[in-house]
Amino acid sequence: MPSLSTADLIIIGGYFLVTLVVGVIMTRKASQNLDEYFLGGRSLPWYLLGMAGMVSWFDLTGTMMITSFLYMLGPRGLFIEFRGGVALILPFMMAFTAKWHRRSGCMTAAEWMTYRFGHSRAANWMRLLTALMYIVLSIGMLAYLIRGTSLFVGLFVPYPPMLVTAILIAICAIYTMLSGFYGVVLTDLVQGLIIIAAAFLIGFIAWQATPDLAALNALAERVTGNASWTSSVPHVHTTMPRGYEMYETLLKFAMFYLLRNVIGGLGTGAESRYFGARSDRECGLQSMMQGLLIAFRWPLMVSFAVLGLFLVDRFFPQAETLEAAAAVIHRHYPDTPPAYWHDVTSDIVHRPEAVPAVAAELAALLGPNWQDKLPMVSVHGTINPEQILPAVLINSVPAGLRGFFLVAMLAAMMSTLTGTVNQAAAMMVRDIYQDRLRPAAGNRELLFASYGSAIFILAVGFWMGVNAGSINDLWGWLSMSLTAGMFAPQVLRLYWWRCNGWGVVGGTAIGVLGAILQRIFAPGLVEWQQLLVMSALSFASTIICSLLTAPTAPETLRHFYRTTRPFGVWGPLRAELPEAERAANDREHRNDLLSIPFIMLAQVALFLMTMQFMIRSWTAFAWTAVLLVIGLAGTYRFWWKNLAPADNPGTELAEKS
């Protein structure tokens, strides 16, 4: 089995050493106060925050998962990842939701709730509940990241995957605790440059290996059974392997995922990067940069998918071999649940002497290099597409370069994990510990509380990740059920004056409880059904609870409306504005809304074009280029031309009422 060379180990060790050194260097600056620790003193430039945003969304687990869909479907895999991987909520942040949240002057999404609803009993409960829900969501995200990391590292080291993952998580914990937001952003800059370089390198390797379009499609059909692998159009019916049959109606899923992003996008913007931005203008610029940089993710992933086709064709020329290999594992380990399938196969690969009978059967079936092949065998007796990326790295990339790519993938994991932990710990300290338990706590005590919060969040996320099954299944529930259960409070609080604290409390509690109960009692509910049920439950409960209770205090509403300046159903408050101010707001809102479809079109076209270029699909590339030009023209007309000028870059932060 290929192993890491000395050069690979030096590269990886050097990366972790530099990361920890940065954490130590930034400790003094980050420890000045909570504003410095969690937001970088609101002084970091937009290009650093844009790079940090790109890297935080460039996670290892998501990269493995999206690569699996590109391996199965070709460029059309992008449409399944409308559910979250294509970042279609970014245009809303770029246009208006980010600047709306920045104007509050708050530090966290939960603190923002008191800015919107005041300090009534309902608002205080809502702040606590919001913090708890964000922490739960962050822990779920960490479980997803940790599960994917364990699948990744299991191919590279002769130790239990979860043990290695635990060591990586411990390094991330130390680094995040020491450096705060400063260290996260600065290290994200280095990690982003590494990831972009990796995209170019793996793209070159895949480009050299790729034949013409017809030959590539023939290879893909032979390996995956998909006769339209090189197509970029989502078909009404698409062939999918066992375990992924739910995605056969690809066009329907793409439409529902698009709906999910439109609804979800309207409630976004409550992120540390935007709370810490220096101006409205820089909120938009960092979002634009994030969208441009994250485009590098798609040629990288399709390159891994293409190389995966060649690897699978070489390893498994007969599909029946996969079923036979899975049958051997099932026979010797009959009670192994799907969540532990990878742990079992990894243990067999790295310790064959402990199970000589199993190793002998697999060697007879798969050949002398059976240890390279076994990790790619799924519990269903097919290729496990979630293993394509690490399998390509270990079997198709030369030593030395392998270490560099491993660093790039681990950088993607660490950046997302540290950003998630930083934001969740901020809520645990600011909105629970300081607001509820220790209002008089000093700076030193709050910093130690931050350290303890980070450790707690990582520990619970690790436990959940150990017990998770398919990373695709876990991500589907997180993005289509749990977050959908929180849609209505996140959206209505921005666009409807009558939405109040009890409405948000009721909508959040009932929506999230519904998602958890669905996971326990109806785990087989398909994703589009999860989206519809949880969204309907969330909106109904938020509206009903709001209408059954008293509205938010007029002075609180007035302060929020005049400092945030949102659009929507704000009739009583909008009527109070002077005519000139009302007209200026209307112009801003009209341009913001009209820019959304053009930004989204440009973003999707850019992602598709990078993949079409990599597989040499020139006709599709030309048609998509036309769509890109249309999207860019509309973005320029409605967004760029109306961006606040550099010498007057936006509103001042709201004063706390």
What is the pTM for the complete model shown? 0.83
The pLDDT of residue 621 is 97
Domain shared by 296 and 328, yes or no:
no
Q: Lowest mean pLDDT: which of 36-50, 229-243, 335-349, 599-613?
A: 36-50
The pLDDT of residue 596 is 97
Q: Decide which of 524 and 548 is more confident.
A: 548
Domain shared by 134 and 158, yes or no:
yes
Question: Any residues with CB less than 8 A from the CB of 570 and at least 6 apart, and which?
Answer: 497, 561
Domain shared by 526 and 636, yes or no:
yes
The arithmetic mean of pLDDT across residues 164-190, rounded, is: 71
pLDDT, tens digit (0-9, with 9 covering 90-100), for 231-269: 999 888 888 887 787 788 888 888 888 988 898 899 999
**Top-ranked range on mean pLDDT: pick from 227-241, 265-279, 467-481, 628-642:** 628-642
Of 622, 617, 614, the residue nearest 230 (C-alpha): 617
Q: Lowest mean pLDDT: which of 168-172, 265-269, 464-468?
A: 464-468
Confidence of residue 476 (pLDDT cuts 50, 70, 90): confident
SS3 551: coil
Confidence of residue 30 (pLDDT cuts 50, 70, 90): very low
CATH number at residue 14: 1.20.1730.10
Q: For the chain, give the number of residues.
A: 657
Domain shared by 331 and 306, yes or no:
no
Of 495, 483, 492, the residue nearest 543 (C-alpha): 492
Q: How many domains does the chain have?
A: 2
- Average pLDDT of the chain is 85
Domain shared by 290 and 434, yes or no:
yes
Q: Is the pLDDT of residue 36 over 60?
A: no
The pLDDT of residue 62 is 81
Q: Is the pLDDT of residue 96 over 90?
A: yes
| Residue 583 CB coordination number (10 Å) | 11
Query: Quick one: tokens of 424?
Result: 């969740």
The arithmetic mean of pLDDT across residues 359-379, rounded, is: 92
Q: Decide which of 531 and 587 is more confident.
A: 587
Domain shared by 460 and 371, yes or no:
no
Domain shared by 230 and 368, yes or no:
no
Query: Quick one: tokens of 616?
Result: 């040499």
SS3 383: strand
pLDDT, tens digit (0-9, with 9 covering 90-100), for 102-145: 999 887 777 888 899 988 887 778 778 778 877 877 887 788 77
Q: Decide which of 335 and 582 is more confident.
A: 582
Q: Lowest mean pLDDT: which of 294-308, 466-480, 504-518?
A: 466-480
| Domain membership flag for residue 654 | no
Q: Is the pLDDT of residue 205 over 90?
A: yes
| Domain membership flag for residue 569 | yes
Print the domain residue range for 349: 320-382
Query: Which percentage of the chain shows pLDDT scores above 70?
Result: 90
| Domain membership flag for residue 460 | yes
Query: Quick one: tokens of 323?
Result: 């079923």
The pLDDT of residue 244 is 80
Domain shared by 166 and 89, yes or no:
yes
| Domain membership flag for residue 655 | no
Q: Is the pLDDT of residue 59 over 80?
A: no
Q: Lowest mean pLDDT: which of 180-189, 263-272, 313-322, 434-443?
A: 180-189
| Domain membership flag for residue 249 | yes
